[in-house]
Structure 1
């Protein structure tokens, strides 16, 4: 039976607590891709093959060592409606690919939502760990420990030369994707962002939007992740990402100091205008909402706005997405009304109201 407690509220563990460098780094995520030997990969598998994979992995989930990570709540995607799937994606608990998979896909989510184990996505197994702030090493250590437990029970598809075999060639090798979601408004405002991101792409890393590959980097949120999974060890991948992210954090901090010393009035005006629009707008689309929320988040971090917790910005980042927005108003949103209800929800969260 599906446990959908995770779509009842927008806050995940990583949103509630502040990790290292949380003014700039929103979250750290590690995802490990694995396939089981002697089973066709999901893209070529029959329903019977996929069910056999599920049965094997369910047995692994009984390993007592996994209790250290809390109760793992099961969700069968074939038994889940589109709205709940969408909300799971909006909280980054499952991938868009798994949400679109109707054939024997499942996910097991820990109570604090820091661990998601996806079954029969693009690969048989995806182990994901999500932490607040800049904790990429901690996320990797946890994901690796869970991976070791699975490897004690099942035989992975592995080649001595190529490493772990995956459906997508870009994941072959370690099967590791490590990413850090960063809020970089000052680098955008000082027009340094393109230079920084261009340099990042030249050293084996890639930049994506908030929902990964193919998504737009709205609200000055950028996801920095490794592009290379073959030819480097897991430790090298993590260390390389950590080193680059630390440099970007330094550049963003310097850009914020520059803005406050050289353009304080303009920055203050921008922040306050965005706060005013969010507080009193009757209609706002998702793109503008993301940009205005980014401005207010920056204002909070720079001490220009008092009385609003940074966690409120994290909550609104999820609540203003279509799935949660629809559920917040009990599914009463008609076609063309989404922007009106988004504005209404933001006003409510900021303690404002219209007559």
Structure 2
């Protein structure tokens, strides 16, 4: 069950009265394999096997649970969807998997959107912490796994907007007073001026707003 990997939910963090959580995503693809939307079943299984083998070599491998999606129970699938780890439009008929840290602060998705999608969570407004967790794992993987990259463009991702760093920061903010006091327009204008994307946050599989907004910023610098 995925639900037991929820330790970070119980932590306090900066500005938790407004910011529910911070999130960092790093997308990487493995050199020599087609992207997940084009890869075949055999090669997708090789991607999963390669990354699983890498984690088995880590000294702290016991802290991670390796889960193949085809073997996960329906409730765990729902929980992964709620956290935005797996998406409805994932590639079909290929091997997909997720590695979960025991406290739920770190997820590594395999063949979901890219070969490797590293996602880190922290309570409150803490971009430094989520970046530190995600980037540390990315650097460890880079020592053993050759990522697809271009000298001029940077890291190659399945989403054109991610090419370069493959890095995205997000925060989920709760301010129902702004939403229900008709001040949303001014907030959206500020986000546009600061190159942020904003979206309403809804209950999973529902159109009911919970009075929260999801902000994200993609780092699109090409050269590292």
The CA deviation at 1:28 is 0.4
Q: What residue in structure 2 maps to residue 229 of structure 1?
A: 219
Counterpart for residue 6 of structure 2: 12
- Taking structure 1 as reference, are residues 175 and 154 closer, same or farther at Cα in structure 2, changes over 3 Å only? same
CA contact (8 A) 1:172 1:229 kept: no
The correspondence for 2:68, drawn from 73, 76, 83, is 76
Alignment match of 2:80 (pick from 83, 88, 97): 88
The Cα offsets for residues 106-150 of structure 1, whole Å up to 9 and x where unpaired, read as 001011000101111110000110111111111001100000000
- Equivalent position to 2:32, from 35, 38, 41: 38
Residue 164 of structure 1: aligned partner: 155
Larger Rg: 1
Give distance in 2, aligned partners of 1:97 and 1:191: 32
CA distance in 1, matches of 2:69, 2:153: 32
Residue equivalent to 1:298: none
Higher normalized helix content (fraction of residues): 1
Large movers: runs of 4+ above 3 Å: 97-102, 209-212
5+ long unaligned stretches in structure 1: 235-355
The counterpart of 1:185, out of the listed 176, 189, 197, is: 176
**Which region of structure 1 is more displaced relative to structure 2, 80-89 or 178-187?**
80-89
Residues 229, 74 of structure 1: CA spacing in aligned structure 2 closer, same or farther, 3 A cutoff?
Answer: same
C-alpha contact (below 8 Å) 2:36/2:91 kept by paired residues: no
Deviation at 1:86, TM superposition (A): 1.2
Q: Offset at 1:156?
A: 0.6
Q: Is the 8 A contact 1:20 1:135 kept in 2?
A: yes
Q: Residues 32 and 207 from structure 1, CA distance in 2 versus in 1: closer, same or farther, beyond 3 angstroms?
A: same
Hey, what's the Cα distance between the residues in 1 that align with 2:129 and 2:208?
A: 25
CA distance in 2, matches of 1:109, 1:197: 34
Q: CA RMSD in A?
A: 2.6
Cross-structure match for 2:115: 124
Q: Which has the higher contact order (CA 8 A, sep 6+)?
A: 2
Query: Taking structure 1 as reference, are residues 232 and 195 closer, same or farther at Cα in structure 2, changes over 3 Å only?
Result: farther
Which whole-Å CA distance do the structure 2 matches of 1:186 and 1:73 have between them?
Answer: 40
Q: Higher strand proportion, which one? A: 2
CA offset digits 1:212-255 (Å, max 9, x no partner): 9xx968211111101x4323789xxxxxxxxxxxxxxxxxxxxx
Q: Distance in 1 between matches of 2:8 and 2:124?
A: 8
User: Is the deviation greater in 29-38 or in 196-205?
Assistant: 196-205
C-alpha distance in 2 between matches for 1:15 and 1:233: 35
Decide whether aligned partners of structure 1 residues 89 and 195 sit closer, same or farther in structure 2, where only a CA change above 3 A counts: same
